[in-house]
A and B are shown apart, each in its own frame.
Chain A
Amino acid sequence: MEDLINLKINGIDVSVPKGTTVLEAARQANIKIPTLCYLKDINAIGACRICVVEVKGARSLVASCVYPVSEGMEVYTNSAKVLQSRKTTLELILSNHERKCLSCVRSLNCELQALAREYGVDEDTFSGEKTKYDIEDTNPCIVRDNNKCILCRRCVAVCNHNQGVGVIGTNNRGFATDIGCAFNMDLKDAACIGCGQCVVNCPTGALSEKDDTAIVWNAINDPSKHVVVAPAPSVRVQIGECFDMPIGTNTEGKLVAALRRLGFDKVFDVDTAADITIMEEGTEFIDRLKNNKTLPLITSCSPGWIKYCEHYFPEFIPNLSSCKSPQGMYGALMKTYYAEKSGIDPKDIFVVSIMPCTAKKFERGREGYMTDGLADIDAALTVRELSRMIKKAGIDFVGLPDEEFDPIFGIATGAAHIFGVTGGVMEAALRTVVEVLEGKESEDIEYRDVRGFDGIKEASYNVAGTEVKLAVVSGTANAGKLLKMIKEGKADYHFIEVMACPGGCINGGGQPIHDAYTRDTVDIRGLRSEAIYSHDEKSVLRKSHLNPVVKEIYDSYLENPGSHKAHHILHTTYIARGK
């Protein structure tokens, strides 16, 4: 039995375990204390001072996000002094904030804006000098506008602690303090993996994805272009949130309808490419296992992870699967297989992908993501960019009918759907690899040991007489931990799945952004992942090798998984990058 601490918050009796903060205790009593810099499990530094409360007997107001409860404590979260202080804090922040709220990408989804409205602030209470910054848009994934930064440091914390990257930090001091790379280096020159976790953790418009919607609009409006589009597995369980639908709603049909109404010539599915990925990667794994080649094999679907490995653990490059990601396979097949089938010159095909990810924008530009001199993908949009296009086009997303993908590249299995959540690629691979190795159909195809949100998951299965040891990690900091253990000889696996973002694509850097309170109180990842697993369960086909489109592509074009032609189109190479 834990030690319980009894205290009063606004006169209400509350009992919470020792070590609980006043903020968390208040939430348990259904009292919401506003926050800006605080983010559960990511950032608790008491910097912004929005969450101040009055504690009877304390010398000054205290920051509830970091202040531990104590026995008999009396807390007031809404006293006149507290409310006035919070208002002044907001007015001070606004006095050095670029208030281009009307055109800001985060307008109406900005934590500062919401608080300013709640507290009825006067933007002009404090006038004075403002700091001025150039917009930093050198990186292909992320744009930083420090004129809108409130120095909450959530981006710094997530980059450093959760992602183990740490390329951004605090520069200068006092009023001139800003966030950026060491020595104000450009973000493109830093060892940034482009994962975009900084963006989804930013409470304001200081961080955003590099907006590529203009080039997509141009392509759509260019009659000489045949524009195809396809969404990644997790996108269909995320995009509804941009239109105020409940978190965890699968809107695949509406998504297809919306894409068609935007004017794309064909609406395909990256999930089909995911099934092909399993065929290629599964074949690669079996080859490495049977012929004593380099193991563990590590998945390559997550471009943030790939860049992390190239920067921080280049010694593991031989372990990386040579498979392109599903995005890459989709694009490459569009400009080869689909071009041939449809009789369109690949130069005229403009390939767009919809991704839960910002790193896909970097991946798109990789040298190894070109086939026969053409880039596989021409534009990689995040879920947020797509939602802006849909809104701009005046499409009533919620009211759309359900439509289906164009069948030539639009049929997928449950194995592909689960790519969107941590453990999904591993489970999908097992569904195929086990059947191939054992030469018979498996009865139980749900590998529950690799599901869930633990940062590092391990499992071991006896497959055709061999004990196959697996690990599934998400969040690159966890990946770093695991690789270090392998280097030190403390861990040993045959196959590892890595996703750069904690929880996988359903928590990607390109997903819809929710405010801190929702993130702290609603299990967003859990709801989205339930939607994904339920999609899998309801699927008739749940194993990649049973996908008829995949069969057709191999039969009529690629020959067989791992063939010379498949390698030419679907595989890639990596390079060691400095730190």
Chain B
Amino acid sequence: MTHAIDKTNFCNKQTRVALRNCGIIDPENIDEYIARDGYQALAKVLKTMTPEQVIKVILDSGLRGRGGAGFPTGRKWQLARQIVPDADQKYVCCNADEGDPGAFMDRSVLEGDPHALLEAMAIAGFAIGATQGYIYVRAEYPVAVKRLDIAIRQAREYGLLGENIFDSGFSFDIDIRLGAGAFVCGEETALMTSIEGHRGEPRPRPPFPAEKGLFGKPSVLNNVETYANIAQIILNGPEWFASMGTERSKGTKVFALGGKINNTGLVEIPMGTTLRTVIEDIGGGIPNGKRFKAAQTGGPSGGCIPAEHFDIPIDYDNLISIGSMMGSGGLIVMDEDNCMVDIAKFFLEFTVDESCGKCTPCRIGNRRLLEMLTKITEGKATLEDLDKMEKLCYYIKENSLCGLGQTAPNPVLSTLRYFRDEYISHIVDKTCPASVCKKLLKFTITDNCKGCTLCARKCPVNAISGAVKQKHVIDQDKCIKCGVCMDSCKFSAIEKK
């Protein structure tokens, strides 16, 4: 029997690279980071390597962006280094604007190991030829902002940021820019537009940031988790990193486990781990003995993985092939009580709310899509509507300006792919199989009713009538489906179907 958290099932199946210092060191003390080999990678790079060698190491490691799309990080750096060789200024940016609902791995790194980020950004600066970095962090992360601020000050005091670092002639500094929490500002061009002080809206690509990024200069943007791997790759070598994971997805990935799962929290696993291992072994399974229905990955841009793919090794390409995506690493578990139409609606509501409003397909198309989904959940849609909705999904993907719009219909398409029968039930049978969609629910009183009158007294719209000690009746025309009667009944006499 152990009393140490690292020995629990939750922890011992994990491999911690990005999170290696989280929960170990004091994030406000640079010495503790240095004690865990902090800034050794930067020293190695500046003292013994050329920018090209650094880029080669990152390329060889196979590291791909952890923010969503999985673009090879080394390739990104290489483009930023080469595409405009005579640029007078370049920038290194960090996307710390974590916005997926339920995802908080970046926050964990920012709060638990901020120097890992600073060190990696300095290495990226050296690799591409930049002297200035910006961390774009959402203002809703006050603890992260405070610790980043302390970390930057400490690094400057030690001369690990600033002029002539390690007497190498290389200078690099970092500033923080606060985001107001718009989800679209996680899109790279919108993020840069926001740093420049404008309304955070995406710009058309090309030109790509490697050519014309922040303030029109060649720029690299990586997310926090990507940077958190860099120093380890430099110190342990690309082979070490590439030894973890699958053929085309190397290293580890952090997931934020949420939803219907026993152990909610952050887990870091080697790429290629199966969903089963994550959910059953690390996550401790589904509470209350309920049946697993699907796992949602990739946040509002992602999709659902049904039970049939429970044993698929999780990596970038496998998730794409089954209609989902890695995204930034949110993993929400759903059981039999979840309605998949409702889940799709939830994510679409999020993107509709977060659309910047610049392009037509996203601004109006997603709104109309949401209205169609709502119609389905209210039992008012026809099969023709379903057909029209599917076409609209593909139109939006094909025509939107940025990644937010292009991926917004994914939760709908993915649930349609695996759970079309649930859509059909809503449309044809006018029922919600998981009993979630309110407009399709019917509350009725069974013979268990003792006539205690409690439900009638609790009902906010006086929809329940009946004499004392006699079976009560719900007036379906009045009922607003709030469920108060069911919660208050002491005899389990109210049925929801």
Contacts and interface: CB of A to CB of B under 8 A. Distances in A.
Interface of A: 45-50, 52, 60-61, 63, 66-68, 81, 84-85, 88-89, 92-93, 95-96, 126, 128-129, 150-151, 169-170, 172-177
Interface string B343-364: 0000000001111111111011
A91 to B, nearest CB: 9
Contact of A174 (B203, B204, B353): B353
Contacts of B354: 173-174
Given A93-B364, A174-B355, 10 more contacts: A49-B400, A49-B401, A50-B360, A68-B206, A89-B399, A92-B360, A169-B199, A174-B356, A175-B357, A177-B357
A85 B352 contact: no
Considering residues A52, A84, A151, which has the most beta carbons from chain B within 10 angstroms of its beta carbon?
A: A151
Nearest to B365: A92
Nearest to A62: B204
Contact of A49 (B355, B357, B397, B399): B399
B371 to A, nearest CB: 4
A175 B199 contact: no
A52 B204 CA distance: 12
B367 interface: yes
25 contacts: A45-B203, A45-B204, A46-B359, A47-B360, A48-B359, A49-B401, A50-B360, A60-B397, A60-B398, A61-B398, A66-B204, A68-B206, A88-B365, A88-B395, A89-B361, A89-B399, A92-B360, A95-B368, A96-B364, A128-B368, A151-B357, A170-B199, A170-B201, A173-B357, A177-B357
Interface string B267-279: 0000000000000
A63 B364 CA distance: 17
A95 B357 contact: no
B216 to A, nearest CB: 15
B232 interface: no
A63 B204 contact: yes
Nearest to B372: A128
Contacts of A128: 367-368, 371
B176 interface: no
B234 interface: no
Given A60-B399, A68-B206, A170-B199, A126 B368 contact: yes
Contacts of B398: 60-61, 81, 85
A129 B401 CA distance: 23
B182 interface: yes
A306 B368 CA distance: 46
A29 B360 CA distance: 28
B240 to A, nearest CB: 34
Given A47-B401, A92-B368, A173 B356 contact: yes
A92 B361 contact: yes
Given A45-B204, A63-B204, A88-B395, A174 B367 contact: yes
B356 A175 contact: no
A126 B389 CA distance: 10
B324 interface: no
Contacts of B207: 68
Nearest to A177: B357
Contacts of A85: 395, 398-399
A60 B361 contact: no
A52 B395 CA distance: 12
Interface in B182-211: 182, 199, 201, 203-204, 206-207
Given A45-B204, A46-B401, A49-B401, A88 B392 contact: yes
Contacts of B357: 151, 170, 172-177
A85 B399 CA distance: 7
A88 B395 CA distance: 8
Contact of A63 (B365, B395, B401): B401
Given A49-B360, A49-B361, A175 B401 contact: no
Contacts of A60: 397-400, 406
Contacts of A151: 357-358, 360, 363
Contact of A61 (B206, B371, B399): B399
A169 B197 CA distance: 14
Interface string B23-61: 000000000000000000000000000000000000000
Interface of B: 182, 199, 201, 203-204, 206-207, 352-361, 363-365, 367-368, 371, 392, 395, 397-401, 406
A43 to B, nearest CB: 12
A45 B359 CA distance: 9
B192 to A, nearest CB: 15
A503 B363 CA distance: 36
Report which residue of A66, A151, A174 has the largest number of chain B beta carbons within 10 angstroms of its beta carbon. A174
Given A45-B358, A63-B204, A68-B206, A174 B363 contact: yes
Contact of B204 (A46, A81, A170): A46
Contacts of B359: 46-49
Contacts of A96: 364
A5 to B, nearest CB: 14
B423 to A, nearest CB: 19
- Per CB-CB distance, the 3 closest pairs between chain A and chain B, nearest first, are A177-B357, A46-B204, A174-B355
A177 B357 CA distance: 6
Contacts of A52: 399
Contacts of A126: 364, 368
B8 to A, nearest CB: 43
Nearest to A48: B360
Nearest to A173: B357
Contacts of B371: 128-129
B206 to A, nearest CB: 6
A336 to B, nearest CB: 51
Nearest to B207: A68
Nearest to A176: B357
Nearest to A68: B206
Contacts of B365: 88, 92
Contacts of A92: 360-361, 364-365, 368
Contact of A173 (B355, B361, B399): B355
Q: Which of A47, A89, A173, A176 has the most CB of B within 10 A?
A: A173
A94 to B, nearest CB: 9
A12 to B, nearest CB: 23
A173 B199 CA distance: 10
Contacts of B399: 49, 52, 60-61, 85, 88-89
B301 to A, nearest CB: 14
Contacts of A170: 199, 201, 357
B106 to A, nearest CB: 23
Contacts of B363: 151, 174-175, 177
A47 B361 contact: no
A128 B373 CA distance: 12
A63 B357 CA distance: 17
Contacts of A81: 398
Nearest to A169: B199
Nearest to A66: B204
B361 A67 contact: no
Nearest to A90: B360
Contacts of B401: 46-47, 49, 63
Contacts of A176: 357
Nearest to A70: B206
A175 B367 contact: yes
A67 B204 CA distance: 8
Contacts of B355: 173-175
Given A92-B364, A128-B371, A169-B199, A47 B395 contact: no
Contacts of A150: 360
A89 to B, nearest CB: 5
A339 B371 CA distance: 65
A54 to B, nearest CB: 10
B388 to A, nearest CB: 8
A322 B463 CA distance: 78
A226 B364 CA distance: 53
A506 B29 CA distance: 68
A176 B367 CA distance: 10
A93 B204 CA distance: 20
A46 B398 CA distance: 14
